[in-house]
Every structure is written in structure tokens, then in C-alpha cells.
Structure 1
């Protein structure tokens, strides 16, 4: 990051992307090591989950269709019923295990990327071994922040469900009702995206400042003021890329049963590499957004104090003091 802190606040969509490319290309060795050890397994688990889930769910649907055409209280019917129950059990056990491993790798990759970029920013010596030694202490803070985000999203979706039930009871599927439903859908999507953007920024706050959990979410909400537009655009763009990769993998690998094994394998490798690069780029970009927001709010980041702040992770963990480390204001 060779730009002056005062100039970071002026970075927009393309400026943040340019800075992200610059950091990754300049320090490609450490990012390559992180990608090979963490991000590639994360991408593999995600794509493999899509393939396996489709296979398991397809078998369940086929057996349920066969069950519907089988006379009740017969040996075949009872066997199919037991088989379907077992398959649903396997399906949800697989989903649970996938979620656990995916969450752990996501938090580890986030903590490693954020810590690495902070070391780069402070010109602090680092290597892959040092980054990995820090990760176990950092990702626990990210877990608390994730739990709070989950609680907020759950409460928000519960409220949305109440509103939807009220809409059905009071208005229903009339022309006016459908118009209101469209407005409610837009409002829901806008709030959900905003919560997601705040959470992503809160993940960086959880690593680089003393706050984590709900405090990090609140701090992130304050930081994003004034830069919410560019943050939301970046989030939406990266997620559209993610959706495109997922849809492409579904179409050319999972659902391409008539295609040859060679073509499906080639497409699988391509989407696997694209997803890995996208995850690396997204985590780096969200860290840059944090520094842009700090600069916009005139919060000077003292490099020497931030370096000491990061060094704490290498010894016994101590609470981080954002007042001393990161929240020194400067005038422009």
C-alpha cells in the first residue's frame, strides 16, 4: 500500500480493485502459500458439496417418486420408506459437516488474509509460518462476530416472515398486494445486503481492533457511513461473480450428465481455480475497504503501534486497545 493514508478516502470502485490487484501481485509468494493451503481446500469443499448434494437429493426425489407409485403396506413400500428416511439422515449429516468445515476454513482464510495485509501495511516482517501461528488466535474472535451476525440475520428473517404472513392475511394476491410485495422484496434485499456488508467489514475490525462480536458490528456500521455506496457496489459485484461461477459449475459439471467425463473435468478445474481466485480477491478487497473507511473518517493508523498490536498475537493474547493503536484522528 504505497498510497498516503489521506488519499485512501478517495479510492472508489476501480481504485480499490486496482489496489487489491497491486497488493496480490506484489506479495504473490505469501498469497500463493495461503491460497494453496487454505483457499484451495475451501473452494474444493464448496464445489464438492454442490456435486454431492445434487447426487443425494436426486436419489431422494427418485425414491420418493417410486414410493408414490408403490402400494402402501407392502414390503417394497416399507423398504423404500426406510431407505428414504436413511437418505434424508445422510443428507442432513452431510450438510451439517459441510457447514462446519466450510465455516472454519472461511474464518481461517479471512483471518490469514487480513493479518497478512496489515503486516504489509506496517512493513512488518512476515512469513507463512508466522501467519499460520496467528490464525488460531484470530479466528476465534471472528467466530464470535459470525455468531452475532447469524443472530441478527435470523432475527431479521423472522421479522420478514411475520411481515409476509401479515401481507397474506391483510392484502393477499391482488394487484395492489403484488405491488406491495415487490416493494417489501426490494426493502428486504437492500437491508440484507447492508447487513452482509457490515458483517464483512466487522470481520476486519475483529482482527485489527479490540472489538469483536456485536461491538465489531456496531463499529463497522459507523465506519461504513459515507462509504456505504462503494462498499455495497463492490459486495454486489463480487457476489454476482460468485453466483456466475456457481451457476456455471452447476450447468457444465453437475447437471451436464450427457457431457463427456473429460469436458466435465476440465470445466470443474476451471471453475475451481476461478472460485479460488475470487475468494482471495474478495478477502483482500474487503480489507482495503476497511482502510478506505478509516481514512474517510480521518482515523489515522499509526503503523508502529499497529505493528505492536499485531505482535500481540504472537505471544499470549491480550485485549487490543483501539484507542492507542488505530483511532488517532488527523486533520486534512
Structure 2
């Protein structure tokens, strides 16, 4: 982040990761507290989710007992889990994006100032998330419709053709899903750093992602793969480890290690989405007025309320 703004556009996927990993060194105490209070609970909940739902699902699969109470417990737990995941995901995004932007503008950084800014930042992120959620719902409905049409149109007796068609549809699903996720992450950063949010942030995200779609999708897909591998290991060793004669101590050690790894992955993921925003702005030759951004960030702390959209990037051409 110490590079000149016009050179950020030349960062590759690897150098984005390197720059992201180096950011916490500028304010280690702040990032340590953010990680401990926000990112660790988020990461623990993601992995521990299957640990708590597995016994309920096992009971539900038992054909000789009533499943009413188990279904009730499972639905309540799932609802609470999704709410927890949603809240801590937005809180973590708000904290990391605000802190990185503060460092970028040489604004004094502390954990207390970051926490003070979160309430206003959270509101903007929440509205943006609602729009993203709407897009995701529409997208999934369209995807299900394509699958149903595929089942109807393709001869299911021809296994090779049917399997190949499913693979193609699944790959397209992953590609589009990665793109929408990249769009969402970029819109989240825009909601914090610019005087727009909601649909306007989504539209701005769509505009500045042009030319960097492949990079954004690769970063998102890589994150999905790593998280999937961690979840798979946690499920096979910690959750189902008793079935494969893994000892309790071994499962605890492995579980703790995997939670730690996911914490690091999530922290780097939040940092990457912040850095990727600056890369996209630089690619479109849009500089950031650091003084205006400084004032904009101060507005979350009650220091200054911008009278106009001065954070909007100026064209350097």
C-alpha cells in the first residue's frame, strides 16, 4: 500500500497477497484485537457448525424415533448460526476495510476508533448486503431453472451426455458465483470508503471490476477452494473422526489447528478485498484524494461530515 496510486494497477494476484499480508505489521495491536474479537468467532462458528449439527442430523436419520424435536432444534440452530455468521461477517468487513483505509490515509489507527466507526459503517454494509442477497436469490432461481430444463431436455438414459451437461452447468455456476462474490466484496469496500451504498455501490462495483474480472474471480475461487479444503479436513477428522478411530486429543489438536488456519485465511481474505479495491481504482486511472478520504473516514467518528461526494475518485487522465 506504500506504492504510488498509479502503480497499484500493475499488482498481480501474488503481489496483492504479499501486500495484504504485510498490512497488519503497520498496526499489529489493532489487527490482533480485530482478529481476536471478530474474525476468530466468525471462523470458529464456520467450523463448529458441523460439529453441533452432526448429532442432530444423525438422530433425524434414525427411522425408529420421532424427529419433531430434532427438526425444531436443527432449524433454530441454523437460524441462529446464519444470523451470527451474517453479523460477524459484516462487522469483520467493516473493521478491516476501515482500518486499512485509515492506514492508507495516515489517519491514527486504534482498535477503539475502529469500533467507534463500526455502527455507521455496518448500516451501509447491511443495505448493500440486502441488494447482493436479492441478486443471489435471483441467480439461484435461474440456476435451478436451468438444471430443471436440462433434466427435461437431455436424454437421461445417455449417462455420458447427461453427466457432461451437469459438469458444464456446474462450472458455469461456479464462474458466475465467483463473479457475483467478487462484485459483492468490492461493493462492500465501496460502501465504506465512498459516499454510496446499496444498489449504487453494486453499480459502481460493476464498473470498476471491468478489466479485473478474471483477477477478482481467481482470488474469490482460491478463497473458496482453501476454505472448502479446511472444512473438509475438519469434517473428516474432527466431526467424523470417531468413526475412523481418531483419539479425542488428536481431534482437539487438529480442530484447534484448523480453526487457527481459517482465522488467518479469513483475515487475509478481508485484507485482500481492501487492496483489490485500490487495484481496480488504479486500473481505471482513478486516483484517491487522500484528504477527502481522511475526512470521509472521520465522518464515521463524528470528526467531520462531508458536504459533497468528494471521495469520488478523480480521473487522472
Rounded Cα–Cα distance in structure 2 between residues aligned with 1:13 and 1:228? 12
Contact preservation (8 Å) 1:9, 1:292: yes
Aligned-pair distance for 1:177?
4.6
Q: Which residue of 2 aligns with 1:5?
A: 5
Aligned-pair distance for 1:214?
1.6
Aligned-pair distance for 1:104?
0.3
Please report the TM-score for the alignment, with normalisation by the length of structure 1.
Answer: 0.90
Q: 2:69 aligns with which of 86, 91, 94?
A: 86
1:302 aligns with 2:289: yes
1:230 aligns with 2:228: no
Rounded Cα–Cα distance in structure 2 between residues aligned with 1:104 and 1:240? 23
Shift in alpha-carbon separation, 1:178–1:245, aligned structure 2, 3 A: closer
Rounded Cα–Cα distance in structure 1 between residues aligned with 2:247 and 2:161? 50
SS of 1:259's equivalent in the other structure is coil
Q: 1:99 aligns with which of 82, 88, 107?
A: 82
Rounded Cα–Cα distance in structure 2 between residues aligned with 1:160 and 1:33? 40
Higher alpha-carbon deviation: 313-322 or 42-51: 313-322
Q: Which residue of 2 aligns with 1:293?
A: 280
Greater radius of gyration (CA): 1
Structure 2 unmatched runs, 5+: none
Shift in alpha-carbon separation, 1:209–1:180, aligned structure 2, 3 A: same
Shift in alpha-carbon separation, 1:244–1:36, aligned structure 2, 3 A: same
Contact preservation (8 Å) 2:42, 2:85: yes
Contact preservation (8 Å) 1:45, 1:102: yes
Shift in alpha-carbon separation, 1:317–1:26, aligned structure 2, 3 A: closer
Aligned-pair distance for 1:168?
2.0
Contact preservation (8 Å) 2:38, 2:92: yes
Structure 1 unmatched runs, 5+: 67-79
Higher alpha-carbon deviation: 143-152 or 165-174: 165-174
Contact preservation (8 Å) 2:124, 2:192: yes
Q: Give CA deviations for 1:92-115 in whole Å, capped at 9, x if unaligned.
A: 000000100111011000000000
Q: 1:281 aligns with which of 268, 273, 283?
A: 268
Rounded Cα–Cα distance in structure 2 between residues aligned with 1:266 and 1:105? 25
Rounded Cα–Cα distance in structure 1 between residues aligned with 2:13 and 2:281? 16
SS of 1:9's equivalent in the other structure is helix
Contact preservation (8 Å) 1:209, 1:321: no
Query: Would you say how many aligned residue pairs link Structure 1 and Structure 2?
Result: 313
1:329 aligns with 2:296: no
Rounded Cα–Cα distance in structure 1 between residues aligned with 2:193 and 2:152? 48
